[in-house]
Amino acid sequence: MDLIPAPLHVQTPDDAAPFVLDAGTRIAAAPGTEGVARRLRAELSAATGFDLDPAPAGQAGGLLLALDETLAAEEYRLSADAGEVRLTAGGPAGLSHAAQTLRQLLGPAAYRTAPLPGASWTVPAVEIHDAPRFGWRGALLDVSRHFMPKAGVLRFIDQLAAHKLNVLHFHLTDDQGWRIEIKRYPELTGTAAWRERSMVGYRAGGRRDDQPHGGYYTQDDLREIVAYAAARHITVVPEVDLPGHNQAAVAAYPELGNTDVVDTAALGTWTDWGVSENILNPSEATLRFYEHVLEEVLEIFPSTFVHLGGDECPKDQWKASPAAQARIAELGLKDEFELQSHVIRHFDSWLAERGRRLIGWDEILEGGLAPGAAVSSWRGYEGGIAAAQAGHDVVMCPEQHVYLDHRQAPGDEEPIPVGWVRTLEDVYRFEPVPPQLDEAAARHVIGTQANIWTEFMFDGRDVDYKVFPRLAAFAEVAWSDLPRDPAARDWAGFEARMAGHYPRLDALGIEYRRPDGPRPWQRKPGIVGRPIDGRPGETC
């Protein structure tokens, strides 16, 4: 049926008549399903032009939404025949997934926001039983390197929901820009939210645009984003990076930097890509500053997990800083790696005291992992394997497999080629749980995530091109019960189902990479990237 991600079980009765959705169709919403019914009505009414009003009490037929406590929260059943379509789930999240399956069954036009003339609406007779493999099915969106206006973020959330993904990892701060309003520290958006210019492509090309770039989300913008995502059963996990990737914050508040080795007052928000050496100093005052920041972050984001980065933190300034060395001695630490671990452990405890959990990139393993921390394993599987074997939860997002800023094909036509070639098939064959893990350790792999870094994506059109269609393949990996051996997966079957999925992407207005390559306007000739041809290393 061209369903993506593939359901757990599908049965189609022979010669059974389809359900016809028309102007007389009503939606019957059982208690607890009202929110999903409201969104389903809004989406389908826009596409069909039908009112789809609530059904009178006791009326049979139409679209029926119900909950069943014997099902898990994200598990659902969809049953369709000529008389009715019944959506049943263990909770609203599962019911929302069932509604997305219903949209797919209705055809690509169900994803449009106004009715097309002459359209007819049928649901084939079918019985579907479905549930996800992983509880964390995420996508990271980097809005620091290139800011995405709020409307674009909401659109991206709709794209995640359409593919049954349920976590938006929101990368809000970095060397190149701070994107979250912090009322206590206004210069984080007054100074750190913009940079004077940007590199265009990799530094070897020597190009800059000499155009100020910036933007930030007010706290009310972020509350709106969180609420919009929650209505689609997507959790927004904020990332505030520390102690590295902080030149923008240091530019705004120079006392946060290593002032005894660097003239931090002369720094600006960084205009290069890559990893800045200007990191936070490890003083108690800096810890208090970020506690104040996180107090406001927690008020906006109700997610259990808060991502604090912890990655790519050059230690040269700490090695040269008498203050940092005195701090190491004061705390009885062995070296700069243990000093970074001290910072992470501090916030692990601080978050735990407030009922939250810290998650960070796999560098937080260096110098000793904080007791309650979870790990985003990005430098391959190794960090995730070590963390899972030590009893820590892991989200697998290895750069070599699911960094969607990496190029989709070899050759000069790919815009600003970066990193490894990772085709749609490569992503489809990604397996989040490595065979080295025994059953107990494998249970600590709580999910998987595709990461979208935007150094070389200037706007939403570029994000569309890099992300799709590969995010559809990733969604199936995260959701469906695929063979654990990537070589045993039915690539031909998935490719055939994608032929039916491309029109859905078209209807959603997603400017994806076509199977035959980029359109002329999607190319960026002359802008230098950094292909690394399989060699590990920094990609920007």
User: DSSP for 499-513?
Assistant: HHHHHHHHHHT--PP
Average pLDDT, rounded, for the chain: 96
Q: Is 312 left (phi over 0), alpha (psi -120 to 50) or beta?
A: left
SS3 content of the chain, % helix, strand, coil (to 5): 35, 20, 45
Structure token pair of residue 409: 């094909």
Please name the residue ranges forming H helices in 127-177: 150-162
Residues whose CB is less than 8 angstroms from the CB of residue 272 and which lie 6 or more positions away in sequence, other chains included: 176, 199, 203
Annotated catalytic residue, options 142, 174, 239, 414:
174
* Short-list 336, 365, 335, CA closest to 348: 365
Annotated catalytic residue, options 245, 307, 392, 501:
245
Question: Distance between CA atoms of 317 and 264, rounded to whole angstroms?
Answer: 12
Q: Is 221 a catalytic residue?
A: no
Q: pLDDT over 90 for what percent of the chain?
A: 95
User: For the segment 478-500, what is each residue's pLDDT rounded down to a tens digit?
Assistant: 999 999 999 999 999 999 999 99
pLDDT of residue 532: 63
Sign of the CA dihedral running 412, 414, 418, 424: negative
Cα 464 to Cα 77, 90, 200, 225, 506, distances in angstroms = 31, 33, 19, 19, 11
Q: In this structure, what DSSP letter does residue 340 have? A: H
Sign of the CA dihedral running 370, 374, 379, 385: positive
Q: Which domains does the chain have, with CATH numbers?
A: 9-130 (3.30.379.10), 136-531 (3.20.20.80)
User: For the segment 255-294, what is each residue's pLDDT rounded down to a tens digit?
Assistant: 999 999 999 999 999 999 999 999 999 999 999 999 999 9
HSE toward the beta carbon, residue 373, CA cutoff 13 A: 32
Residue 260 CB burial class (10 angstroms; 0-12, 13-18, ≥19) = middle
Residues whose CB is less than 8 angstroms from the CB of residue 460 and which lie 6 or more positions away in sequence, other chains included: 148, 152, 155, 156
Total count of residues recorded for the chain: 540
pLDDT > 70? residue 447: yes
Q: Is 174 a catalytic residue?
A: yes
HSE toward the beta carbon, residue 417, CA cutoff 13 A: 17
For 146, the 3-state DSSP assignment is coil
Instruction: Please report where in the chains the tokens 């997966």 appear, as a residue.
Output: 489
Backbone angles phi, psi at 524, to 5 degrees: -135, 70
What average pLDDT does range 124-153 have in this prediction? 98
Residue 493 CB burial class (10 angstroms; 0-12, 13-18, ≥19) = exposed
Count the Cβ atoms, other than its own, within 10 Å of residue 178.
31
Instruction: Please report where in the chains the tokens 């209705």 appear, as a residue.
Output: 106
Q: In this structure, what DSSP letter does residue 215 have? A: -
Question: Distance between CA atoms of 317 and 333, rounded to whole angstroms?
Answer: 17
pLDDT > 60? residue 517: yes
What average pLDDT does range 107-129 have in this prediction? 96
Q: Where does the pLDDT of residue 540 fall: very low under 50, low under 70, confident under 90, or very high at 90 and above?
A: very low
Annotated catalytic residue, options 2, 277, 312, 425:
312
What average pLDDT does range 136-149 have in this prediction? 98
Report the greatest alpha carbon distance in the chain. Answer: 80
pLDDT of residue 507: 98
Gyration radius of the chain over CA positions: 24
Residues paired with 359 in a beta bridge: 307, 374
Count the Cβ atoms, other than its own, within 10 Å of residue 136.
26
* Strand ranges, E, within 381-517: 394-396, 418-419, 445-452
pLDDT > 90? residue 59: no
Q: Is 511 a catalytic residue?
A: no
Q: pLDDT over 70 for what percent of the chain?
A: 98
Count the Cβ atoms, other than its own, within 10 Å of residue 369.
23
Q: Where does the pLDDT of residue 531 fall: very low under 50, low under 70, confident under 90, or very high at 90 and above?
A: confident
Cβ proximity of 465 and 522 under 8 Å: yes
pLDDT > 50? residue 399: yes
Cβ proximity of 121 and 433 under 8 Å: no
pLDDT of residue 533: 53
Residues whose CB is less than 8 angstroms from the CB of residue 538 and which lie 6 or more positions away in sequence, other chains included: 274, 275
Cβ proximity of 345 and 370 under 8 Å: yes
Question: Distance between CA atoms of 464 and 472, rounded to whole angstroms?
Answer: 12
Helix H, strand E, coil C: the string for 24-48 is CCCEEECCCCHHHHHHHHHHHHHHH
